[in-house]
Amino acid sequence: MLWDIDIFSEMERLRREMNGLFSNYGQSSGSATYPLMNVYDDKDNIIVTAELPGLVKDQVEITFSDGILTVSGKQQPLAKTKNMSVVRKERPEGNFEKTVRLPTQIKQDAIKASFSNGILTINMPKAEEVKPKTIAIEAK
Amino acid sequence: MKSLIPWQKGQKHAAPVRSDDWFGRWWEDRGGNFFPALKNSYSNHLPSVDVTEDKKEVKVRAEIPGMDQKDIELTWHDGILKIQGEKKNEKEEKSKDRYYRECSYGSFSREIEIGRNVNWEKAIAKYKNGVLTVSMPKTGASQKLIDVHID
């Protein structure tokens, strides 16, 4: 039957297009999927967290330039011991880099980062001029 | 040793449509991995694991960042190791304005078939830097080679 071959290719095209949409989601670049990140906005700070299980702080580098935050490093390969065989390998290894464009201005000198249980937390205070301000209403 | 995670077929080219159930075939050809981009980045509820084996032990390393050790539950049943727990997101409760989220939260569970040739009673589990390591010593019996006679 010819008709269902047409539908088949049309559905395949749609699937590819949607997959492309999903892969662009989030507007980050580099190896877009690793590490996984969250970005929070809590009035005074932008907080970025990244999941980097198995890494320690010396294996991760954080740079900030021109409104762009970059997290990079290297996942160590599995330590091989004598006669060891790898039955299953799912955890990533090798170099990674991910950049995030921040939605607002940051006080660069006050950026702080911490690492706990495989989660990297980067705290970035907002620049004074972009913080929300309460405007007092003067009585006439 | 085998594992219980879904087996994925390699990507196939469009095969000639023979079956009446062409939609089912099309779906199956993708091995349930319909939108790989979505799957890779947003459906990581299952922790990724490495499994290694040497003469003495079988070792499982699972990536579960941001947990409290006490919130990870390990159970053993008939040669299958089950890792489960709940991943909480405390920051999200505090922060009202969330921008963007890739990490997944909530309960997770993963079963890994190890086989019966390990001594589960002597297994050691450690949680460090977001990685759970379970070391299970092998029982003596599995180290012996079995002679197979061919008639």
Handedness of CA A80, A78, B6, B36 (dihedral sign): negative
Q: Nearest-CA residue of chain A relative to B65?
A: A118
Q: Find all residues with CB under 8 Å of B114, minimum gap 6, and list them.
A: B1, B51, B58, B60, B79, B80, B81, B136
- CB-nearest partner of B17 from A5, A18, A52: A5
Does B138 contact A at CB distance below 8 Å?
no
CB within 8 Å: A20 and B37: yes
Closest-CA distance, A135 to chain B, in angstroms, reads 21
Cβ-nearest to B17 among A4, A19, A86: A4
Output the tens digit of pLDDT for each of chain A's 140 residues: 555 556 767 777 777 777 666 554 444 444 457 899 988 888 889 999 999 999 999 999 999 998 899 999 998 888 888 888 999 998 988 899 999 988 789 999 999 999 999 999 999 999 988 877 788 899 88
Cβ–Cβ below 8 Å for A88 and B101: no
Residue by residue, DSSP assigns chain A as: --HHHHHHHHHHHHHHHHHHHHHHTT--EESTTSS-EEEEE-SSEEEEEEE-TT--GGGEEEEEETTEEEEEEEEPPPPP-TT-EEEEE-S--EEEEEEEE-SS-B-GGG-EEEEETTEEEEEEEBPGGGS----PPPP-
Residue type at position B135: S
SS3 label, residue B45: coil
Q: Give the number of beta-carbon pairs within 8 Å between A and B.
A: 146
Q: Does the CB of B32 have a partner CB in chain A at under 8 Å? A: no
CB contact under 8 A, A41 and B131: no
- Distance, CA of B86 to CA of B99 (rounded, Å): 23
Q: How many residues belong to chain B?
A: 151
More confident: B85 or A16: B85
Chain-chain contact of A36 with B1 (C-beta, under 8 angstroms): no
Q: Do B41 and A32 touch (CB under 8 A)?
A: yes
Provide the pLDDT for residue A68.
92
Task: Count other C-beta atoms under 10 Å from residue B2's C-beta.
Answer: 11
Residue B64 has pLDDT above 90, yes or no: yes
ipTM: 0.70
Of A79 and B43, the one with more pLDDT: A79
Residue of higher predicted confidence among B46 and A2: B46
pLDDT at B100: 77
Of A1, A18, A54, the CB nearest to B131: A54
Query: What amino acid is encoded at B7 in this protein?
Result: W
Report how far apart, in Å, the C-alpha atoms of A48 and of each of A71, A121, B84, B94, B131 are. Answer: 10, 6, 26, 14, 21
Closest CA to B29 of B46, B53, B12: B12
Question: Is B70 an interface residue toward A (CB < 8 Å)?
Answer: no
Q: Could you give the C-alpha distances from A53 to A26, A47, A68, B1, B129, in angstroms and in order?
A: 22, 19, 23, 25, 6
The pLDDT value recorded for residue B2 is 37
Q: Which residues pair with B52 in a beta bridge?
A: A86, B59
- Is pLDDT of B53 > 60? yes
Task: Tell me the pairing of strands B49-53 and A85-89.
Answer: antiparallel
pLDDT of residue A63: 95
DSSP string, B95-138: -SEEEEE-S--EEEEEEEE--SSB-GGG-EEEEETTEEEEEEEB
Check if B44 contacts A (Cβ < 8 Å).
Answer: yes
B-interface mutation test, from A21, A38, A78, A83, most B Cβ less than 10 A away: A38
Residue with tokens 């379970």: B134
To the nearest whole angstrom, how far is the Cα of A118 from the nearest Cα of chain B? 4
